[in-house]
Amino acid sequence: MRSEVKKRPKQLQLNPNWIQLQQKLKSSAKPARFSKSPQSETPNSILGKRKERPDSDSDDAKPNPLIPTSDDCSVTDVLAMDCEMVGVGQGNKSALGRVALVNKWGNVIYDEFVRPIERVVDFRTRISGIRPRDLRKAKDFQAVQKKVAELIKGRILVGHALHNDLKALLLMHPKKYLRDSSEYQPFLKEGRRVALRHLAAEILGVEIQNGEHCPVDDARAAMLLYQKNRKEWEKSNQDQIRLKEKQKKRKRRKKPKSDSNLVQPES
């Protein structure tokens, strides 16, 4: 009986202590879990990695500056143009194969394949991106020429080596309205012209003409180069116009008087 009596109080004394110990462990463990979860567990959790993805991908996947930020497709006061050529004759003669024009926002207002007057012997697909199927239903040269002339009339025309594009179109445009990125002084290196793809990479941070050329992308790149430097470009253009006007006035002053103005002696 005594042994039984002794055992019972031991069990009664151990049970409450064990229960209290368990309660203390639970109460001390819960706040530790809650306090650690937002600090230590979140960075290593799946959600933490998802939050970091935009930051890590932002450096690699930068927005393309050539993508228009406006859906305005109106014919603006400034247009950019680029053409792609095909080979005619013996293949060494260039003819217009495609022409694209974009407005100041970079939106396409005209983009047409052109069927040259002469037979095409070299599509120059590796550079032009033009294939035989593209010219099967292409518009006639005269129709494209007329439309382009209407669009650019009285407007500033932006492009790269515009003299080549205008020559292919058999068009002329007033020099005061031309903004050629291949001739803009700040873009030259040691007085030499720089290719459009190099200007796009260095100034705009975008790659173009990697393989087949796209006249839309090339026109957009030229337009963006102009827009980024428009203030200085226009000032430089105005200064050149004023200088030429002064030079013309000086030449007029230096011209000798004609014989008709001389007083004839009386006979």
Which of 156-165, 217-226, 227-236, 237-246 is least confident? Answer: 237-246
Are 78 and 156 spatial neighbours (Cβ–Cβ below 8 Å)? yes
At residue 90, what are phi and psi to the nearest 5 degrees?
Answer: -95, 5
**How far is residue 136's CA from residue 118's CA, in Å, rounded to a whole number?**
14
- Asked whether residue 209 carries a pLDDT value surpassing 50, the answer given is yes
pLDDT at 259: 54
pLDDT at 32: 47
Asked if the model's pLDDT at residue 9 lies above 60, the reply is no
pTM for the structure as a whole: 0.70
The whole-number average pLDDT for the span 17-22 is: 68
pLDDT at 4 over 70: no
φ, ψ of residue 94 to 5 degrees: the values are -95, 145
pLDDT at 18 over 90: no
Q: Is the pLDDT of residue 13 over 80?
A: no
Evaluate if residue 22 carries a pLDDT over 90. no
pLDDT at residue 250, rounded to an integer: 80
**Contact partners, residue 35, CB within 8 Å, separation at least 6:** none
Q: State the DSSP H helix or E strand holding residue 57, giving kind and residue range, or none if neither.
A: helix 46-60
How far is the C-alpha of 205 from the C-alpha of 200, rounded, in Å? 6
pLDDT tens, position by position, 73-124? 999 999 999 999 999 999 889 999 999 999 999 999 999 999 999 999 999 9
